Amino acid sequence: MRSSNRSTNFKSSLLRLESLEQRDMLAGDVAVSISNGDLRVHGDSDDNALVIASTEEGIRLSGEDGTLVNGSSEPLILFAEEGSIPDDLHVALGSGGDRLELLGLQVGDDINVNTSRGDDSILLSNVTAGDRIKVYSSSGDDQVVVEAVAADGYTARDLVIYDSSGDNTISVRNIDLHRDLYVRTGSGEDKIVAQGVETGDDLRLYSTTGNDQVAIIDSHVADDTVLNTGYNYNFGSEDRDSALILNSVHGDRASISLGASSDFLGLDGLTIEGSARVYAGRGDDSVSVSNSAFAKSVRVDGGRNTDGLEAIASDFAQDPDVRNFESEVEDSAGRIESILASLEESGALQPRLASITDLVVGNPDFSILEEAVIAAGLADTLAQKGSFTVFAPLNSAFESLPEGTLSSLLEDPTGALKDILLYHTAGEEIFAADIVQVSNFETLLGSRVSVDVTAEGVVLNGNVNVTVTDIEASNGVVHVIDAVLLPPPSIADIVIDNDNFSILEQAVVAAGLATTLDSSGDFTVFAPTNSAFEALPPELLQAALDDPEGLLTEILSYHVVAGEAFSSDVSQLSSVETLLGSRVSVTATADGIILNDSVLVTTADIIAANGVVHVIDAVLIPPGSITEIVVDNDNFSTLEAAVVAAGLAETLDSEGDFTVFAPTNAAFDLIDPAVLDQLLADPTGALQDILLYHVADGEILREDLAERTSVPTKLGPNISVAVDTGNVVLNGNISVSASPVYAANGIIHVIDAVLLPPDASETSITDLVANNPDFETLFAALEATGLNETLASEGNFTVFAPTDDAFEKLPRGLVSLLTRFAPRILESILLYHTVDGAIPSSEIVTQDSVSSLLGRNIDVEVTEGGVILNGNVKVITTDIQASNGVIHVIDTVLLPIRLFR
């Protein structure tokens, strides 16, 4: 697939639609019918003009220039529900001079167009077919255009165009084909162009007698290329053919055959990855090869008469086999240009655009920009192929620079001047419609330009107005601006040059960070103003300034993020990681971005050469360790006592990343006081186990937690995780606060109850089912079969537990019927949900199947959407721990095949 932006050609394509010939016609009548999903259109022998287009209403068929559709002048709307043609489209117009336009259609299978005799115009624009597109036209001077102007994607499997006698113009442009493009014309002076075409297999173009012009331009052919302008025809004729292959890649063999007269072949910018064969035939032929590369053997045969050959700036992997050439080629570049002009005039070739360099050079309003571009050595760059966007300052913009600035820049053309010009250039096409969707864009200098959209228009870097947009070039687009964009200073320079940052400047210099913030890396700095520093307790500020390599460096590093994070990026995050390693929380509000719940971003997106600065109204203070946060928070006093008693305070104060699920005092109050006293009396036993069951290795952010089904703990057993209406729930009933607390060595998630590990709980699988309102049907079934006692006993089981909603999917009344009249079948179903042994989800995902107590296997499949059992049963919650096993919740009842076939 090509990556080119086809929308750049939209205007020129519209112009090309208008250029299709309008003729004085005797209007006809078109008959339309539908048969087995096929749309069939038949025209009479009069001159028909028909447009078939995809619209919001459906497929619209409308006659133009007096043409009737099914005897009516009103448009006909079909396939309103489908919005596309399910199977084939057949269009057969009679022998008149017909005009047919197919616009934006999606056809499930084939498209067949036959216009018979007459001077016909056929346009297929943005049309796709599930299989083949065939266009047949008989005698007459015909125009056929097949194009895609607004969307990438395959047009069809194959495209076949046959056009017999007459002076025909055939243009195929900007389309992708799964397989082949095949075009054949008969006698007459034909013009055939394949422009911007990509094929999965072959490209074959054939013309016969007549002065033909055939071109392949800007195309990519996966396999064979065949171009034949009448090699087996027109012996002894005076026909003169021209063939061009320009700027194209051909994956396999290329075979080019010219007619029997004096013909011209021009190959430029060609890459052939297979062998190449050129047969010039009779006549005084000329073959020009330039700027091309041939990976395998090349044979060029001039045939009879006096032929000319030139090869310029081309690479041959093997010495070419050249035969029957005796002269040189005169003015090949001029001849190629003349052929292109002729093809463009005929409408076969899309209008060619000037390069960005040519646009600048040809406009007197850009004379200073022209001088600067040439002096900086960028003229060739902006003339070559590529996709650029240039914001072009007018002469008046350069003249408004401070006196002497322009002359100084011109004296240093490859230094400061080149940097400024690169800062006006982006390495991709950015049209006006794109600019208004972004807050900034990156330039070839590496620095960014900010974008503001106002009622008056687009403003760059706060003070440069875009006055003219979307001047299209062959290699990009130009926008005119009314001032010169000056590259931004470094972050360090921004701090130094702003009086509101004088204390920050003093701190950065003292900590030795000025060089870092002046370097070429990309950083995001949250910059406190002087008033923010002055709001600190004086003793803290002084202590930081007295310890520049310690405390001060820590504080400043806590204000810096690696990489560029603009406000549009930051506002989408819940936190950002700083160079200190600790995180800063982020909350997007109507008033702006809030950091760590209290620090406001007052000015965002000050662009620097090496990143971006956001001004904040308070100093961010690095967090303490998990232990320090617990000790300092009155809501964690019981947790603090437990952690200290269990000997875990030092562990949670050490380096390393931990995730702690921290119960509040209110959570501990839910435990029987006698039980709590008993736990505190055994701090290194049961209490330590409970606390370790609240700790996981690594930093698990809340958004990551919500994506999990379980979390392995330091104790060993997993905690189950589920999301209930946006809330994260642990072990089925313990809620996690939406606001995590970030520590120097990890993250704290506040929870509303104490997590009890399986071996510290007396809750059996039956108890968990009985006490969960989502399992009422399951519990009733367990009681009816007596399996409730089994799953309450000692032992280890794994139960895939269907919810009440899962049972609701069964035929109505089935569970009641089985309970009353077939309890043994119900028991078998429940045994099929039960596995011997406690199998955590981490082990299940490593297996293809698990064996149930019924004796039948349950198939296991791991997909992007989660774990699927038996092909259609989704595991929605995992690892709910019980004293005698584990529960995994499923959304559908598992049915043994033997019972329900």
Per-residue pLDDT at 759 = 58
Dihedral sign for Cα 655, 661, 664, 665, please: negative
- 490: alpha, beta or left? (left if phi > 0; alpha if psi -120 to 50): beta
- 592: alpha, beta or left? (left if phi > 0; alpha if psi -120 to 50): left
- Between CA 536 and CA 542 the distance in angstroms is 10
Angle at 315 between CA 310 and CA 320, to 5 degrees: 60
* Partner residues linked to 172 by β-bridges: 146, 194
**The two structure tokens encoding residue 63:** 């006659």
DSSP 424: T
**The two structure tokens encoding residue 191:** 């013009």
- Between CA 652 and CA 746 the distance in angstroms is 9
H-assigned helices in 563-671: 567-570, 626-632, 637-645, 665-669
Give the long-range contacts of residues 784-792, CB within 8 A, separation 24 or more.
784/819, 784/823, 784/826, 785/823, 785/826, 785/827, 785/830, 786/827, 787/827, 787/830, 787/831, 787/834, 791/764, 791/765, 791/766, 791/834, 791/884, 791/885, 792/764, 792/765, 792/766, 792/767, 792/884
Give me the phi and psi of 332, to 5 degrees please.
-65, -40
DSSP 870-884: TTTEEEEEEEEEETT
Per-residue pLDDT at 9 = 32
Please state at what angle helix 823-831 crosses helix 776-785, rounded to 10 degrees. Answer: 120
DSSP 779-825: HHHHHHHTHHHHTTSSS-EEEEEE-HHHHHTSPTTHHHHHHHH-HHH
- Between CA 310 and CA 317 the distance in angstroms is 17
- Between CA 729 and CA 697 the distance in angstroms is 19
Give the long-range contacts of residues 777-781, CB within 8 A, separation 24 or more.
777/802, 777/804, 777/807, 777/815, 778/802, 778/803, 778/804, 778/807, 780/815, 780/819, 781/815, 781/819, 781/826, 781/829, 781/830
- Between CA 662 and CA 94 the distance in angstroms is 82
Q: 826-841 burial string, b = 16+ CB within 10 Å, else e? A: bbbbbbbbbbeebbbb
Q: How many CB atoms lie within 10 A of CB 128?
A: 21
- Between CA 27 and CA 543 the distance in angstroms is 93
**Alpha-carbon distances, residue 32 vs 77, 410, 829 (angstroms):** 11, 69, 58
Count of H-run helices and E-run strands, the chain: 27, 64
Q: Tell me the residue type at 315.
A: D
Which residue reads 């890396």 in tokens?
Answer: 521
Pairing of strands 611-616, 599-608: antiparallel
**Alpha-carbon distances, residue 65 vs 25, 95, 303, 352, 755 (angstroms):** 8, 17, 51, 31, 79
**The two structure tokens encoding residue 547:** 């310890």
- Between CA 480 and CA 482 the distance in angstroms is 7
DSSP 649: T
Residue 471 · residue 359 · CB < 8 Å: yes
CA 584 from centroid of its chain's CA atoms = 29
DSSP 636: G
- Between CA 667 and CA 389 the distance in angstroms is 60
Give the residue among 203, 278, 215 at the shortest CA–CA distance from 242.
Answer: 215
Per-residue pLDDT at 134 = 97
Tell me if residue 56 falls in helix, strand or coil: coil
SS3 readout for 727-782: EEEECCCEEECCCCEEECCEEEEEECCCCCCHHHCCCCHHHHHHCCHHHHHHHHHH
DSSP 489: P
* Partner residues linked to 385 by β-bridges: none
Q: Considering all CA atoms of the chain, what is the largest pairwise distance in Å, rounded to the nearest integer?
A: 114
Q: Which residues of the chain have pLDDT under 70?
A: 1-27, 149-153, 231-239, 758-762, 897-901
DSSP 150: S
Terminal alpha carbon distance of the chain = 47
Angle at 13 between CA 10 and CA 18, to 5 degrees: 130
Dihedral sign for Cα 825, 826, 832, 837, please: negative
Pairing of strands 198-199, 181-185: unpaired
Give the long-range contacts of residues 203-211, CB within 8 A, separation 24 or more.
204/180, 205/181, 207/241, 208/233, 208/234, 209/233, 209/234, 209/237, 209/239, 209/259, 210/167, 210/234, 210/239, 211/239, 211/240, 211/241
Per-residue pLDDT at 879 = 79
Identify the structural domains of the chain with CATH numbers, from first to last: 356-481 (2.30.180.10), 491-616 (2.30.180.10), 626-758 (2.30.180.10), 762-890 (2.30.180.10)
**The two structure tokens encoding residue 791:** 């799953």
Residue 604 · residue 614 · CB < 8 Å: yes
Whole-model pTM: value is: 0.58
Spatial neighbors of 1 by CB under 8 A, at least 6 apart, are 152, 153, 176, 198
- Between CA 556 and CA 573 the distance in angstroms is 21
Tell me if residue 390 falls in helix, strand or coil: strand
- Between CA 716 and CA 450 the distance in angstroms is 51
CA 318 from centroid of its chain's CA atoms = 41
- Between CA 733 and CA 533 the distance in angstroms is 44
- Between CA 52 and CA 106 the distance in angstroms is 11
Residue 882 · residue 760 · CB < 8 Å: no
- Between CA 263 and CA 243 the distance in angstroms is 8
